[in-house]
Amino acid sequence: MCGIVGYTGYRDAFPVVIKGLKRLEYRGYDSAGIALHNKGLHVYKNMGKIERLIENIDGKDLAGHTGIGHTRWATHGEPNDKNAHPHLSASGKLAMIHNGIIENYSQLKQELLQKGYLFKSDTDTEVLLNFIDEIKENNHCSLEEAVRIALKRVTGAYVILLIDQDAPDTILAARKGSPLVIGVGKGEHFLGSDASPMLEFTKDVVYVNDYELAIISPDKLVLKNLGNEILTPYVQKLDLELSAIEKGGFDHFMLKEIFEQPHTIYDCLRGRLNTQKNKITLSGIEQYAKEICNANRIIMVACGTSWHAGLTAEYFFEECCRTNVEVEYASEFRYRNPIITPGDVIIAISQSGETADTLVAIENAKAKGAIILGVVNVVGSSIARISHAGAYTHAGPEIGVASTKAFTAQLTVLSMIALKIAQLKGTLSSDRINRLLVELEDIPGKVQQILNNTSTIQSIAKKYANTRDFLYLGRGINFPVALEGALKLKEVSYIHAEGYPAAEMKHGPIALVDDQLPVVFIATKDSYFEKVISNMQEVKARKGKVIAVVSEGDQRAVTLSESVITVPVCDEMLAPLLTVVPLQLFAYYIGVERGCDVDKPRNLAKSVTVE
Ligand code: G6P
């Protein structure tokens, strides 16, 4: 979390940095700030979003060709003006921004307090900055040397960008555990938490690794490790267009991303699925085919929506591959001392590829000999790089904080992996596999059919927009969809919503049912249909208001429901790829109806790089 941007070159730094920050606002928006080098350091910052910063600095002198900027997701210290980044060192000579957490900050702070340092903020960042400042002043060494010494004492995660009053065109950057990309231009360099701030300027980028330090001036990029050895930067070409990160005529990124799903699912299948030859090509996964087929068990590790993709995949994998599957919250798994043996295969699922808990969970499992496969969206991200192999989801940049298209892309990749293993292991008849491959190919068209008729969903959303609580129920493979539907609603509308297995409702949530409670059922025609119908009746008997997602042509669920959303018929195993779409739209329309900032819900961040 937190977005960082930097620029040094011949352009004015301010517009480049501000534009970059706006693109990274999905990473946090508790406060925003910028530091410019213009015959000295000038820092402007405040609580709230970037728009507020722009209003506040109207009329100020914003000249300068070197600058750094920050958009914050608060960890240490509440969101307010004084805790906003950049921070200025006690000497006033250094300005710094930081993404991450300095775990031993209180110890370092004690040391500095004893030396007479005073702090203006409650942040761990200001502690690290003054720690660097103190080393620099006392040892009379260069900033680079001081940073190197300081970082050897630091535990935690960081990307830091520093500018020094005495070095007008230089930015010093260092990384451990949080993402940092450097864009290489002609006579200019860009820095960002991801590549979006530099997209219109350069396609040449360097992904900085942990324990690396970069000294960047307009014409020069020097990369070193903490041992002061010079490294050769690996410059890669970005495969990303500007249009992919703009709203393209939609009111919100979330809506744009929901509507992109026919294309993103298609892109995910493209070149991998060949229904003529009944073939799936997933080269990364195929390298480890033997290990996956012989795995003792497959453990899916993820957070948030990606965890729901893992839960859904458990159904695919058990059905298709007859392998034991466990699905773990990365944040629990990493601290539980789980029993991992070399025959285990871990599938890490992550849109950003940077989620701290998922990253550490797989690092631990890798150290214990497990094979790590990544199902990741952001190319070149930390999880992608640490995995032995994997398959990218190719959903393109997802900017809306609530995940939508990344989820369906994850489901698409995971179902292909499951079918590939089933082919290799012979655990599902080839007839069934081939039918599923054809069904998979038809999914983008069916998602498009749902998107062609959103007016019903919109009017149901309007009707229920002022409700206090919601219950989402589903069974079998649609149970994780109920969880995801409830999560989407909570995230973007702040309405309390709970997802539950429909049958389990009797053991608790049924106590909530009265004539005020809307209950969303996923009641498509599948092997659980009759059971779900019974659960609907139980809710109806208690006067609950049933909203149902049903299969085209169905009448039984319809007669029990107050509001109905129809999805095309498809094989039960792939149904979540369809049933989740109306629930995403439903949450979106309710959020908009309630005047919520659906792209940037309060307190959330897209990329959670703190544990
Ligand atoms: C945050 C985001 C969620 C996302 C989760 C996991 O909470 O707001 O949308 O599902 O992190 O992120 P990942 O990038 O690992 O999928």
Q: What is the pLDDT of residues 101-153, one digit of tens each?
A: 899 999 999 999 999 999 999 999 999 999 999 999 999 999 999 999 999 99
- Residue 225's DSSP bridge partners are 212
d(C-alpha 79, C-alpha 71), whole Å: 11
Percent share of the chain, pLDDT over 90: 86
Say if strands 156-164 and 94-102 run parallel, antiparallel, or are unpaired. Answer: antiparallel
- SS3 of 358, please? helix
Residue 380: per-residue pLDDT = 84
Write out the two tokens for 276.
């003529």
Helix/strand/coil for 535: helix
Q: Pick from 295, 335, 339: which is nearest to 317 by CA?
A: 295
Tokens at 52, concatenated: 């507020």
Q: What residue ranges line ligand 1, CB within 6 angstroms?
A: 303-306, 350-352, 355, 358, 401-403, 604, 606-608
> What's the rounded Cα separation, in Å, for the pair 586 and 591?
9
pLDDT score for 245:
83
Between the CA of 102 and the centroid of ligand 1 the distance, in Å, is 22
Q: Which DSSP letter does residue 366 get? A: H
Enter the DSSP assignment of 507.
G
> Which amino acid, 522?
I
Ligand 1 centroid vs 269 CA: distance in angstroms? 23
How far apart are alpha carbons 457 and 399 in whole angstroms? 23
Q: Which residues of the chain have pLDDT under 70?
A: 610-611
Which residue lies with its CA nearest to atom 4 of ligand 1? 304
Q: What's the pLDDT score for residue 480?
A: 98
Residue 306's contacts (CB-CB under 8 Å, 6 or more residues apart) are 349, 350, 351, 355, 358, 403, 406, 407, 410
Paired with 204 in beta bridges are 237
Exposure of 539 in the CB half-sphere (CA atoms within 13 A): 33
At 414, list the tokens: 């995971």
pTM (2 d.p.): 0.84
Q: Which one of the listed residues 45, 49, 176, 606 is annotated catalytic? A: 606
- Residue (of 193, 184, 188) closest to 234 by Cα position: 184
The per-residue pLDDT for 595 is: 97
Catalytic residue status for 268: no
CA-CA-CA-CA dihedral for 431, 290, 351, 328, to nearest 10: 100
Question: How many CA atoms, within 13 angstroms, populate the side-chain half-sphere of residue 363?
Answer: 13
Three-state secondary structure call for residue 610: coil
Is 60 a known active-site residue? no
Question: Rounded to an integer, what distance in angstroms lies between the CA atom of residue 238 and that of residue 244?
Answer: 13
Ligand 1 pocket mutation pick from 351, 404, 414 by most atoms within 8 angstroms of CB: 351
Measured at the CA of 394, the angle between CA 388 and CA 399, to 5 degrees, comes to 110
Mutate to test the pocket of ligand 1, among 306, 329, 410, 584 (most ligand atoms within 8 A of CB): 306
CA of 302 to the centre of ligand 1 (A): 9
User: Any idea which residue has 């508790």 for tokens?
Assistant: 30
Test site for ligand 1: of 333, 489, 584, 606, most ligand atoms within 8 A of the Cβ: 606
Nearest to 408 by CA among 448, 372, 457: 448
